[in-house]
Structure 1
Amino acid sequence: MNIQENNKSVLKKANEAISVGDYEGFLSYCTDDTEWTFVGDKTLRGKEAVRQWMATAYMEPPKFVVANLIAEGDYVTALGNITLKDEDGLEALYAYCDVWQFRNGKMAGLQAFVIKPEAQG
């Protein structure tokens, strides 16, 4: 398996873990110094910061629908939709594009572009 296919496989396994609420399993695929940037919002530095964010952002496991995984070099880009429960317990749908940077087979960085699509009318 080449490095791009390996990185895609790691991301798929990590997303499988998070979708069943296994946040520690997901974090095992991240480097200790992982850095996540939610473009236009905030940056999380380190696995502990991500763990704390997940504790509040993912009160219930998110539901992912990945439309495309594109790998090049040390990067994997995931395009799709994610459904999360909001503060009121209602499901909210978002479109996302995650650009993951890998280092030594682990997820070392994330640039996440997440938007709430306009209502279809």
Structure 2
Amino acid sequence: MSNAAILHEANEFVKKGKYENFLAYCTEDTRWVFVGEQILTGKEDVRQYMKEFYWEPPVFTVDTTVEEGNFVIVTGQITLKDKEGNYNQYDYCDVWQFENGKMAGVKAYVIEKKS
């Protein structure tokens, strides 16, 4: 299975709120960099992030997927519900790095859409 196919398969679990299933696709020391925001290191950091920010499963679309070697670049839109129940929309570009068929890290560029 290609790295892009692995990523898309893993993301189906996120859409269903099955975050532990998603995390099975990540390396133990996965590193997530949200450019200009924060850095998460390891599955436990990612797990806590999902508990804090995914009040309900995010709704997202993928516009573009590009795979080259151990990297998969994905662009699209994501909608997240915040603590107050408001829905916020973002454009994103994720650069995923893979190791041995698992997601070892991502550098995420996320920009909130303004009305």
2:45 aligned partner: 49
2:12 aligned partner: 16
Deviation at 1:49, TM superposition (A): 0.6
SS where residue 61 of structure 1 aligns?
Answer: coil
TM-score, normalising length from structure 1?
0.92
Provide the C-alpha distance between the structure 1 equivalents of 2:87 and 2:45, rounded to a whole number of angstroms.
24
Alignment of 1:22-37 (within 5 A): 22-37=18-33
- Structure 2: runs of 5+ lacking an equivalent: none
The alignment's C-alpha RMSD in Å is 0.8
2:101 aligned partner: 105
Same amino acid, percent of matched pairs: 53
Deviation at 1:117, TM superposition (A): 2.1
Quick one: which of 65, 73, 84 aligns to 2:80?
84
**Aligned pairs, number:** 115
TM-score, normalising length from structure 2?
0.97
Quick one: which of 68, 87, 90 aligns to 1:72?
68
Provide the C-alpha distance between the structure 2 equivalents of 1:51 and 1:10, rounded to a whole number of angstroms.
19
* One-letter code aligned to 1:96: Y
Contact 2:55 2:83 in 1 (8 A): no
Deviation at 1:88, TM superposition (A): 1.1
- Structure 1: runs of 5+ lacking an equivalent: none
Provide the C-alpha distance between the structure 1 equivalents of 2:69 and 2:94, rounded to a whole number of angstroms.
15
Deviation at 1:118, TM superposition (A): 3.0
Deviation at 1:64, TM superposition (A): 0.9
2:55 aligned partner: 59
Deviation at 1:34, TM superposition (A): 0.1
List structure 1 segments (4+ residues) > 6 angstroms apart after TM superposition. none
Provide the C-alpha distance between the structure 1 equivalents of 2:72 and 2:60, rounded to a whole number of angstroms.
16
Bigger radius of gyration: 1
1:50-103 deviation per Cα after TM superposition (whole angstroms, max 9, x unaligned) = 001100110100011100111011000110000000221111110000100000
